[in-house]
Amino acid sequence: MENFVFQNPTKILFGRGMEDHVGEETAFYSKKVLLHYGGGSIKSSGLYDRVMASLKKAGVSWIELGGVKPNPRFSLVQEGIRLAKENQLGLILAVGGGSVIDSAKAIAMGAVIDGNVWDFYMGKGAPQSALPVGTVLTIPAAGSESSTGTVITNEEGWLKRSVNSELLYPRFSILNPELAFSLPKFQVACGVTDIMAHLMERYFTNVPHVSFTDRLIEATMKTLINQAPLVLEDPRNYDAWAEIMWAGTIAHNNLLNTGRIGDWASHDIEHEISGIYDVAHGAGLAVVFPAWMKYVWHHDVNRFAQWAVRVWNVDMDVFNPEAVALQGIARLEAFSKSMGLGTRLADLGIKDDRIDEMADKCTNGNTHTVGNFVPLDRNAIREILRLAEK
């Protein structure tokens, strides 16, 4: 196990009606905020009105910026930065899913600097300060409600890049499972897949003696496998949604990577897919992750076999752990298909050949590798994308 320091400062308010507390939580930090959200769903559901009422009651005023899209755009971030600066706003309040929260974090970084916040996403320096961020979560998936991360797509070059900084932990996040009741089945499936991917990125590590967090990650994966069919069958199943929503937060709040070094190559590869083709992140991960596994499983057959047995209930065969590992990968693909997701690039509607472009972008012209479990160069990423075609 590696040395680690773990501290997560995000205050979580979990359960029915907790969004009614957004005003008092916000007012603790600022009485003048940017209210950031996506499309019309928060208005049609009545959440927008409840948030406004709570803000008014707490004496908080706000400037609105809606229109966040999946794979949130840098152009809208720039507009948010302008509004925050011109109106001297003191907090960014994100009401929505991971895309809204990621966009809010980008605005929070950009609102306190004179330069271009995109430089942080390109690895040119790191943020030294940021406005506080608060969230009301509507889509369990990205885990951004209690993480250090933000991912933004720049329309110039269609680059999808990330920043990680402890300055970006939201100060508070409100999680009411009822807010997920109206999600379409496709979004449910993408969200569950995103959470599973966060867990698998951490699980496949070269660090030995991490049995405790192995077991925590395995239990979280099994929770998703058991609960996802329940919410797909009954979208108003509060108890099943509560399990998924809390699992999504824990999966990405850095608790489960304590003492480990995760991989993250699959996320990097998928970012090139969704950056170019604008597909849902979870749908892209359902395609990339099995392909990555088929490329790297030989590196540590025993870990893959352990995952197959403990998570997917594959019978262990000590004389043929290779077959056990491959059966685990097959069951992951079957799980994705059972939720209505595809597992091949063609299932995403990707028919033209831009594999070389994606591999080149992912490695910045083959100047660096991605991933830690098995470092991948441009040729390796090309091979993984080819496996995703078969």
- For 209-254, write each residue's pLDDT tens digit: 999 999 999 999 999 999 999 999 999 999 999 999 999 999 999 9
**Orientation angle between helical segments 281-296 and 265-277, nearest 10 degrees:** 140
Predicted confidence band at 324 (pLDDT cuts at 50, 70, 90)?
Answer: very high
Alpha-carbon distance 47 to 141, whole Å? 19
Percent share of the chain, pLDDT over 70:
100
At the second CATH level, the architecture of 11-179 is 3-Layer(aba) Sandwich (3.40)
Is there a contact between 140 and 244 (Cβ–Cβ < 8 Å)? yes
* Percent of the chain residues past pLDDT 90, beyond the cut: 98
pLDDT at 163: 98
Domain with CATH 1.20.1090.10 in the chain: 183-387
Tell me the per-residue pLDDT of 120-155, one tens digit each, with 9 for 90 and over.
999 999 999 999 999 999 999 999 999 999 999 999
Stretch 297-316: mean pLDDT, rounded? 98
| Res 40: pLDDT | 81
The confidence band for 390, taking pLDDT boundaries of 50, 70 and 90, is: confident
Stated pTM of the model = 0.96
CATH 3.40.50.1970 domain range(s) in the chain: 11-179
Q: Which helix (H) or strand (E) holds 32?
A: strand 32-37
Compute CA 318 distance to the chain's CA centroid, rounded to the nearest angstrom: 35
Which stretch of 11-15, 270-274, 348-352 has the lowest confidence by average pLDDT?
348-352
pLDDT in tens, 53-111: 999 999 999 999 999 999 999 999 999 999 999 999 999 999 999 999 999 999 999 99
Q: Is the pLDDT of residue 352 over 80?
A: no
d(CA 282, CA 384): 17
Identify the CATH class of 183-387. Answer: mainly alpha
H or E stretch covering 287: helix 281-296
